[in-house]
Structure 1
Amino acid sequence: MQIMRSIESINPRYRSVFTRLTVHHVATFENLLDLIRNEQATHPDISVFITLDDLGQALYTSMHATESDELEIVTDDLDFLGDTRAEEARELRQFAHTSAQLAAPGLRRTWADLRGTREGTAETVDALVAMNDNPVEVLDDVILVMHVPADDETAAIAAVPNGYFSDDWNIFENHAVAQHLANGYGYRPLGIGASWIGFVREAPLAAPDAKRLVADLTEIYGAPEAPGWESLGAVLTRQATLFLGYTDGFEE
């Protein structure tokens, strides 16, 4: 695993005010988790949040997601373009606005709002099982490791708001997932990509909790008779991570 800690080493298109290092050539996901846990322990006042699949697409759709009526901030002019400090200030302003919007009563979503929002099939469930069983597959060649100043860990997703297309979960729906998993199962947001959102807890779930979580996921993904659900429950008793597809056709 190659770690680049110099901001200057980061491709300009991937730079963010929150990015502290980039990681390349991850052999096992556990190696990456060790790095993340060390970063979190060293910097307890922030939330460590990473990018997952298809980095370029994830950042592109995130940019457009911030142009929605709920998230867009008004900029007086465009003079900040090319000015690194001005761009960073704008990014911080966007993060503060997005975080505040997550708590806005008229915009908040709940787990119940998500029921039936993913039209799952047996193949969809199999895709969930495969990704969770071998999580290194959810990573792009380049992973951004961010230090996010979120007062509430579930708001770390505001650093890379996503869910641009109408059939995707938007940031408010992803936040509802994050809160449900935090309150019910002790997961915190780990990262997001173009199609997948990830969570992590201190240790794998106990078998009864894994079964309960699978029942919850069946409510939103459907396909309750799919044999893969039982396999997913078994995976969650071995892995401390959880990855969920949040876009239409994520299994592709």
Structure 2
Amino acid sequence: MAERSVSGRRKRADYGEVAGAVLQALPDEGHRGANRLSVALITDPESFDALLAAFRRVEAAHLRVGRCFLTLDDPNQCLYTSGHARAKHDLDGDIAYPDDDTDDALAVYDAAVFESAGAALRDPDRAVRWEDVGNSLVTAPSDIEALVALNRDPGLVVDDVHVVQCLPTTDHTDLLADLPNGYFAGDWTPFECHAVARRMGERHGYALMGIGASTLGFLSVLDPGQRDADALIADLRELYGHRDVDAWNELADLLRGSAVLLLGYTENFADLTET
């Protein structure tokens, strides 16, 4: 379910050359994306900066179509658990997979599943409040140190292949309708991830731009002078606990100088920082 072939007959974009990564337009026979909303593959990025530059190139080519997002760490695992999370949390509205898997039928199916998940995540009867997310992830002081490591070196979420999605939306939280995640019992659920994404956007000016098997990736839409790292750290302390560990001060210093924010949403996200 989470890893279907991407074919379709959309007009292929020409992204041109990008230093430090290989860009490949989708649909392309023999290559896979997440669904019919996949528009590009970014392969072999040399660094997080190279990944972000390639992503920006794809994004610029789709400004009139929708909003672009990308997969982060371990895309295969991300797409696999996304399919299971969608089923576990009943986000597909029992929409039946089409009997005829033509391009048009699959495009209609993927659009319907996206709309169904978005409606579920925005349903006030199912939504999770920010105040109820805190401490739902069991953490240790070493997990706060892992947040520091991730945000000091975003290259830790770079993989061999990244899929770029273009969604018919202007809402950054809608990535979680396309690729909901949080399947295992110790993870944030898709509804908890959605609450965190809303809080990061509404309170701190960070837009969700990517999701991996273990992380949520945000980019600040504010100028550096407008960012309030202390207020952000106060919220992150509420989320992850261990308020008094020194690593929080180090993370605050990092976030003052960076537009990137990486958060772990799974119980084992710290594994990304182990060598």
- Same-fold call, TM > 0.5? yes
The structure-2 alpha-carbon separation of the partners of 1:100 and 1:229, relative to structure 1 and needing over 3 Å to count, comes to same
Per the alignment, do residues 39 and 73 of structure 1 end up closer, same or farther by CA in structure 2, a change over 3 Å counting?
same
Aligned: 1:68 with 2:88: yes
Q: 201-210 vs 216-225, which deviates more?
A: 201-210
Residue 59 of structure 1 is matched in structure 2 by 79
Matching residue of 1:145: 164
In the alignment, what sits opposite 2:208?
Answer: 189
For 2:202, the aligned partner's letter is N
Q: Which residue of 2 aligns with 1:102?
A: 121
Q: Shift of the alpha carbon at 1:18?
A: 1.2
Amino acid aligned to 2:236: L
Indicate the larger mover: 123-132 or 155-164: 155-164
Which amino acid in the other structure matches residue 164 of structure 1? Y
Question: Which runs of 5 or more residues in structure 1 are unaligned?
Answer: none
Partner of 1:243: 262
* CA-based RMSD: 2.1
Judging changes above 3 Å, is the alpha-carbon distance between structure 1 residues 181 and 10 closer, same or farther for their aligned structure 2 residues? farther
Instruction: Give the conservation status (yes or no) of the 8 Å contact 1:157–1:189.
Output: no
| Number of the residue aligned with 1:199 | 218
Are residue 49 (structure 1) and residue 69 (structure 2) matched? yes
Counterparts of residues 1-252 of structure 1 (less than 5 Å): 1-8=21-28, 11-12=31-32, 14-45=33-64, 46-76=66-96, 79-80=99-100, 82-202=101-221, 205-206=224-225, 209-252=228-271
Q: Give yes or no for contact 1:95–1:159 (8 Å, CA) kept in 2.
A: yes
- Aligned counterparts of 2:131 and 2:268: Cα–Cα separation in 1: 22
Q: Deviations over 1:54-83 (max 9, x none)?
A: 111111111111113531332456524x54
Say which SS state the counterpart of residue 67 (structure 1) adopts: helix
C-alpha deviation, 1:41, in angstroms: 3.9
Counterpart contact for 1:122–1:227, Cα < 8 Å: no
Between 41-50 and 186-195, report the one with greater CA deviation: 41-50
Distance 1:117 1:58 in 2: 20
Alignment gaps of 5+ in structure 2:
1-20
Judging changes above 3 Å, is the alpha-carbon distance between structure 1 residues 204 and 139 closer, same or farther for their aligned structure 2 residues?
A: farther
1:86 Cα offset (Å): 2.4
The alpha-carbon distance between structure 1 residues 208 and 181, as it changes in their structure 2 partners (threshold 3 A), is: closer
2:196 counterpart SS class: helix
1:44 CA drift (Å)? 3.0
Report the alpha carbon displacement of residue 231 of structure 1 after superposing the two structures with TM: 0.9
Separation in structure 2 between the aligned mates of residue 76 and residue 147 of structure 1, nearest angstrom: 23
TM-score, normalised relative to structure 1: 0.91
C-alpha deviation, 1:199, in angstroms: 0.7
More relative contact order, 1 or 2 (CA 8 Å, 6+ apart):
1
Percent identity over the alignment? 33
Deviates more, 1:115-124 or 1:36-45: 36-45
The number of residue pairs the alignment matches comes to 250
Aligned equivalents of 1:92, 1:176: Cα separation in 2: 23
Query: Cα distance 1:28–1:76, how it changes in 2: closer, same or farther (>3 A)?
Result: closer
Q: Does the C-alpha gap of structure 1 residues 160 and 23 become closer, same or farther in structure 2, counting only changes over 3 Å? A: same
Contact 1:150–1:156 under 8 Å retained in 2: no
Q: Does the 8 Å CA contact 2:93/2:117 hold for their aligned counterparts? A: no
In the alignment, is the contact (CA less than 8 A) between 1:52 and 1:143 conserved in 2? yes
